[in-house]
Amino acid sequence: MTWNNCFSSKRYGLDKTSKDIRSDFERDWDRIIFSSPFRRLQNKTQVFPLPEEIFVHNRLTHSLEVASVGRSLGGLIGEKIATLPGVEKDPDAAVFYTSDLKYVIAAACLAHDLGNPAFGHSGEEAISKYFKKRDRSARPDDIAFKQLFSPAEWKDLITFEGNANALRILTMKQSGRMKGGFRLTYSTLASILKYPCESLASAKGILHRKKYGYFKIDEAVFLEIAQELHMIRDTETSPEITYKRHPFVFLVEAADDICYNIIDFEDAHRLGILSYEEVRKRFLAIIATDPKARMDSVIKVADDLRGDANESIAYLRAKSIGTLIYKSTEVFWEQREAILNGTFEKSLINAIPELEAALKEIADISRQKIYNARKVVELEIAGFRIMSGLVEDFVTAALTPAREREKEHQKILELLPTQYTFDEAGSPYAKVMHILDFISGMTDVYALKLYRKLRGIEM
């Protein structure tokens, strides 16, 4: 892999190219923005329950803000890479890094949360727990439930992963839809592969294997992306499939890290969970690590805005994000060779020593006061039960042989939209994945309404 061959304007699922006033990478952004899965993010929880009076972030607003930060990171790094000797003499590479990298990173940021089910991480956990629970509850004379699946397929199901689901949403051919899914460029697809390995190779404590990046059913798609962009194979996990991260992933990850560290704090202040002084102190600690920051001026502006505490915090939030963008860009540039050859084993944010204490304080307070806030915990519990119930209803119906299905099972399967219907002759794993495609795509409100209707709570 080199800076000259790690990008491509070719589109997954599309052999020919077409001319347009927009670049191929700008069109990736547009395809995501106008898609149904992206629109549905407006009704998926980020951290706090969806708003009644005070508007906090949902998955949609979070993704838009991450994309804004990602565009800045891509633009700053692109300008630097374009000056490298091997790049500036290659016309295609010079144009890409000068003009297009920012669109790739922004588009990937828009897509990074598409695979997250309703109710956030509790939704992921609910899907996974159903399969574990069903296997444990089987009668002694039953065939073990997990024997219906290969070891790799079973690991996918008991550790359902939103990152892998994002790749699936972007690339799968649904019934009655075009081949190639969104037909995005390989560059944008590679940029969301935060954990470029299969589920059997996942291992906590190793950055690129902390989770996994594709389901077994989508392995051919993943390998095609890796081959097109010359990604580096990690042979330590053989025969399981693992690759080193694509360099652009670090920029997408940094944009996400920057936003959720800062924005959750701002939302907590708006909701009265954190005081003005708590948030102000931590944001100023971040800004102070920037040698170019004029702290006297920053403090004066923040204090002048104190009459509207939300506006004062918004100002400090903007300055904090600017500092984190600047610091992340520095780390990427300093570590560019290690990032390119796959030996860099930290996120950009975690590789900034002067920010370690400030970010740790934010993380600790977030765990203690934000993620354990009563409304957040109540939402997680409710979401867990709703998603568990839906998975149980639909998977049970799908895996019951057609000749043995009761009328209730058949009626449940008739609720599946056309694009999620499955082949009765398909494998149990393929059937389950079609069901999970449907359930994981639901919004919080739709999942709640369907759950109530299936249980006779609401007509």
For every residue of 217-251, DSSP letters joined together read: GGHHHHHHHHHHTTPPB-GGGTTS-BBPPPHHHHH
Amino acid, res. 453: K
Would you state the pLDDT for residue 18?
64
* Phi, psi (degrees; rounded to nearest 5) at 364: -65, -45
Question: What is the C-alpha separation between 421 and 346, in angstroms, rounded?
Answer: 41
Would you state the pLDDT for residue 55?
57
User: What predicted TM-score, i.e. pTM, was given to this entire model?
Assistant: 0.91
Would you state the pLDDT for residue 236?
86
For 271-303, b/e burial (b = at least 16 CB within 10 A) is: bebbeeebbbebbbbbbebbeebeeeebeeebe
Question: What is the C-alpha separation between 131 and 1, in angstroms, rounded?
Answer: 39
Question: What is the C-alpha separation between 247 and 6, in angstroms, rounded?
Answer: 8
Would you state the pLDDT for residue 121?
80
Question: What is the C-alpha separation between 97 and 360, in angstroms, rounded?
Answer: 33
Question: What is the C-alpha separation between 15 and 127, in angstroms, rounded?
Answer: 36
Q: Alpha helices, DSSP H only, in 82-218?
A: 85-88, 91-95, 101-111, 120-136, 151-158, 162-171, 186-191
Would you state the pLDDT for residue 384?
86
The segments of the chain whose pLDDT lies below 50 read 49-50, 53, 141
Question: What is the C-alpha separation between 225 and 220, in angstroms, rounded?
Answer: 9
Judge contact between 229 and 8, C-beta under 8 A. Answer: yes
Residue 315: which residues within 8 A CB-CB, separation 6 or more? 301, 302, 305
Judge contact between 291 and 74, C-beta under 8 A. Answer: no
Would you state the pLDDT for residue 419?
87
